Chain A
Amino acid sequence: MKLHEYQAKELLARFGVPVPAGKVAFTPEEAKAIAVSVGKMTVIKAQVHVGGRGKAGGVKLAKDANEAFDRASDILGMDIKGLTVKKVLVAEAVDIAKEYYCGLIVDRNVQSYTLMVSKEGGVDIEEVAANNPDAITRFAIDPIRGLRPFEAREVALKAGLEGNINKIASMMVGLWNTCVGVDASLAEINPLVVTTAGDIIAADAKIDLDDNALSRHPELMAYRELEAEHPLEVEASAFGFAYVKLDGYIGVIGNGAGLVMTSLDVVARVGGKAANFLDIGGGAKADIVYNAVKLVLKDPDVKGVLINIFGGITRADEVAKGVIRCLEEGILTKPVAMRVAGTAVEEAHVLLEGKPINIYPTMMEAATSLVNEVNAAGGKA
């Protein structure tokens, strides 16, 4: 789960990391009131889940409360990369002397979190990693022991950071404490600012939470914004499906993440483009298949559906029953190609006899036939 900057800063502050004074506002009036209480120049920042807010005009300075009102009016309602800005962070503007980067990522290569620190802060760290990888100092943290202050100091020195090294290291340890305290899968302070007065402050922050650990942080569920997620992704999560909305036109349903991922690849290989990823999991019964097909067909982009099931514990006849129910209820208005292999395939064939659904023995045949049919009907356009 991705958090907004203001939410990430709330969590950092809870773990003792200094952040600029400020609050989230939903209206220009609220923005003005916050600016009054800050009592200094403020920065008004759009809170949307996309990068590049500054370039898109979603970050503006305001020298007083009236300006804060005006800038908040400009930014609220603005469209940034397809997302409407519904709230802004109004925060004390900091006098920047230096801007650094400090982040923690789940790193499978070291089987732990890697601390990444760079003098090149305030810019997209992925660009730094691509253009100037030597500008990033990396340190694998012992996940049991945690990040020690001396280790943080060593990393900061190695990265060439200048300023009060104890305060900088203490911010890194604070970031680590936040990261493990909330079970983050990503935690970044960017930029980590050294002010002209020599203070160290987290001027911007980003946190992604580990969804698998949310159950032990019930208080963080309040940060979930259902309206910010794709409605079909919300519905799918209620069914327990792994569903990802994609930008093509072929609905894809399968059992097992690898099989579904490969199905997307096969759809692309035969000239189509997947509209979604949907994994129904193992051992699915007819009602699960029914709900999956129904869900995928709710997407207006979907012009045809590929169902790819490798039956082990999952029975092909159960899958067929689910699809037939969709057919009987009139939900199945688009072409469907099914690939079913394994347990109870013969029974599935008997059930589907005479029904307008094609069954194929391999995913390649099913995908080819479906994509050809949909493309011929102009589905691609």
Chain B
Amino acid sequence: MSILVNKETRVLVQGITGREGAFHTEKMLEYGTKIVAGSTPGKGGQVVQGIPVYNSVTEARAAHEIDASIIFVPPAAAPDATLEAAHAGIPLIINIAEGMPVLDMMRVVKEIKELPGIRLIGGNCPGLITPGECKLGIMPASTFKAGRVGMISRSGTLTYEASAMLAAAGIGCSTVVGIGGDPIIGTTFIDLLPMFNEDPDTDAVVMIGEIGGADEEMAAEWISKHMKKPVIAFISGRTAPKGKRMGHAGALIMGNVGTAESKLEAMAKANVPVADTMDQIVELTKKTLGL
């Protein structure tokens, strides 16, 4: 099994008629993701990669059972598209857009919190993948191998890197979730750790954090209280200077908040081993799993 998505997950692609939407629809279909419908306002009735297109999420929902939606629309329109999916009752929404105004995302996240049973992943994320079953994102499929390690990451490319390194060492993943590099995101470490904790097919979790905010500190506290499975952490941006935004809008040290030191300290307190380099993620995972 896995968390959030599997081979049965029925997927809607919002913005399916756009260049990115069509390209990634093809890639996801190749992987075996069960895409059942697409939507683009004004393009209802078209067919993309054999998938019927509807004018709205509500229309798509009326014609199909949908478990998850992935959004490929430009950043200015992505917050609205996210709310469209949420109000249509899609339980899992993946927003990959980079460059959305922070105020918009605060409002989206708040509004979705008030809708029961709706989960948003992202924005500014690569999506998630349950290797061998369902790819709901833009990650290169070849780097992921099915297995029993869960992964949660604020960085897209580091997710690919870590998964590829684990795969090369013969270690596969149950589900890999890119939670996104923005300061305001729908789902963070402490939302996903409990799911992996309960997932019978996950033996350990790799969490890839970075400077900015206190999500890793909160995760460390949760782990020390509730986590039954080993967690291996990696923190990116240890040498980044204060007050400079490191590519990700959320990777910013403000005053004494968000420093790598604070995160490393929190992990140490929670007895979570931290990999100093990417290679060490593999070593620590092997050691933890007794491989």
- Asked if A261 and B246 make an inter-chain contact with CB atoms under 8 angstroms apart, the answer reads yes
Instruction: Evaluate whether A108 and B248 lie within 8 angstroms (CB atoms) in the complex, with A210-B101, A258-B155, A312-B140 already known.
Output: no
Q: Indicate if A359 sits at the interface (CB-CB under 8 A).
A: no
Return the contact of A213 from the options B101, B160, B213, B278 (Cβ within 8 A): B101
**A277 CB contacts on chain B under 8 angstroms:** 240, 244, 246-247
Looking at chain A's contact residues, is the secondary structure mostly helix, strand, loop, or mixed?
A: mixed
**A312 CB contacts on chain B under 8 angstroms:** 139-140, 142-143, 160
Nearest chain A CB to B82 CB, angstrom units: 14
Return the contact of B239 from the options A183, A259, A265 (Cβ within 8 A): A265
Interface residues of A (CB under 8 A from B): 105-106, 108-109, 111-113, 126, 129-130, 142-144, 180, 183, 185, 210, 212-213, 215-216, 242, 244, 246, 254-262, 264-269, 274, 277, 279, 282, 310-313, 341-343, 362-364
- Asked if A363 and B278 make an inter-chain contact with CB atoms under 8 angstroms apart, the answer reads yes
Looking at chain B's contact residues, is the secondary structure mostly helix, strand, loop, or mixed?
A: loop
Instruction: Evaluate whether A310 and B110 lie within 8 angstroms (CB atoms) in the complex, with A108-B250, A260-B247, A265-B237 already known.
Output: no
* Apart from A105-B254, A144-B111: 19 A-B pairs, beta carbons within 8 A: A106-B184, A108-B185, A108-B212, A108-B214, A111-B109, A126-B255, A129-B255, A210-B102, A242-B247, A255-B157, A257-B248, A257-B251, A258-B247, A260-B247, A265-B238, A311-B140, A342-B140, A342-B160, A342-B164
25 A–B contacts from the bound complex (CB under 8 Å): A106-B106, A108-B215, A112-B110, A143-B103, A143-B110, A144-B110, A185-B102, A244-B246, A246-B244, A254-B157, A256-B156, A256-B157, A256-B158, A257-B155, A257-B181, A261-B210, A264-B239, A265-B238, A269-B276, A277-B244, A282-B156, A310-B160, A312-B142, A342-B143, A342-B164
Q: Indicate if B241 sits at the interface (CB-CB under 8 A).
A: yes
**A212 CB contacts on chain B under 8 angstroms:** 75, 99-102, 249
Tell me, in angstroms, the Cα distance from A282 to B244 when the chains sit together: 22
Tell me, in angstroms, the Cα distance from A143 to B247 when the chains sit together: 25
Tell me, in angstroms, the Cα distance from A174 to B142 when the chains sit together: 52
The A-contacting residues of B in range 90-135, CB under 8 angstroms, are: 99-104, 106-107, 109-111
Q: Indicate if B76 sits at the interface (CB-CB under 8 A).
A: yes
Return the contact of A364 from the options B142, B238, B279 (Cβ within 8 A): B279
The A-contacting residues of B in range 146-169, CB under 8 angstroms, are: 153-158, 160-161, 164
Tell me, in angstroms, the Cα distance from A266 to B155 when the chains sit together: 16
**B76 CB contacts on chain A under 8 angstroms:** 215-216
**B155 CB contacts on chain A under 8 angstroms:** 256-259, 261
Tell me, in angstroms, the Cα distance from A111 to B139 when the chains sit together: 26
Nearest chain B CB to A194 CB, angstrom units: 26
- For the complex of A and B, the 9 pairs showing the least CB-CB separation, nearest first, are A258-B155, A256-B157, A312-B140, A257-B247, A213-B101, A143-B106, A126-B255, A259-B157, A258-B158
Nearest chain B CB to A24 CB, angstrom units: 24
**B273 CB contacts on chain A under 8 angstroms:** none
Interface residues of B (CB under 8 A from A): 75-76, 99-104, 106-107, 109-111, 138-140, 142-143, 153-158, 160-161, 164, 181, 183-185, 208, 210-215, 218, 236-241, 244-251, 254-256, 276-279
Nearest chain B CB to A142 CB, angstrom units: 7
**B75 CB contacts on chain A under 8 angstroms:** 212
**B153 CB contacts on chain A under 8 angstroms:** 258
Nearest chain B CB to A121 CB, angstrom units: 17
Nearest chain B CB to A309 CB, angstrom units: 9
- Asked if B249 and A258 make an inter-chain contact with CB atoms under 8 angstroms apart, the answer reads no
- Asked if B279 and A362 make an inter-chain contact with CB atoms under 8 angstroms apart, the answer reads yes
**B154 CB contacts on chain A under 8 angstroms:** 258
- Asked if A261 and B236 make an inter-chain contact with CB atoms under 8 angstroms apart, the answer reads yes
Return the contact of A112 from the options B106, B160, B211, B238 (Cβ within 8 A): B106
| A112, A130, A142, most chain B CB atoms within 10 A | A112
- Asked if B244 and A111 make an inter-chain contact with CB atoms under 8 angstroms apart, the answer reads no
Instruction: Evaluate whether A183 and B103 lie within 8 angstroms (CB atoms) in the complex, with A106-B183, A143-B110 already known.
Output: yes
Nearest chain A CB to B28 CB, angstrom units: 13
For B139, the closest partner residue in chain A by CB is A312
**B212 CB contacts on chain A under 8 angstroms:** 108
**A144 CB contacts on chain B under 8 angstroms:** 107, 110-111
- Asked if A183 and B140 make an inter-chain contact with CB atoms under 8 angstroms apart, the answer reads no
Nearest chain A CB to B123 CB, angstrom units: 10
**A256 CB contacts on chain B under 8 angstroms:** 155-158, 247
**A341 CB contacts on chain B under 8 angstroms:** 161, 164
Return the contact of A262 from the options B110, B138, B158 (Cβ within 8 A): B158
Nearest chain B CB to A58 CB, angstrom units: 19
For B186, the closest partner residue in chain A by CB is A111
**B157 CB contacts on chain A under 8 angstroms:** 254-259, 310
- Asked if B256 and A129 make an inter-chain contact with CB atoms under 8 angstroms apart, the answer reads yes
Nearest chain B CB to A247 CB, angstrom units: 8
**A343 CB contacts on chain B under 8 angstroms:** 140, 142
Instruction: Evaluate whether A258 and B103 lie within 8 angstroms (CB atoms) in the complex, with A242-B247, A341-B164 already known.
Output: no
For A185, the closest partner residue in chain B by CB is B102
**A216 CB contacts on chain B under 8 angstroms:** 76, 101
Nearest chain A CB to B204 CB, angstrom units: 21
Nearest chain B CB to A80 CB, angstrom units: 17
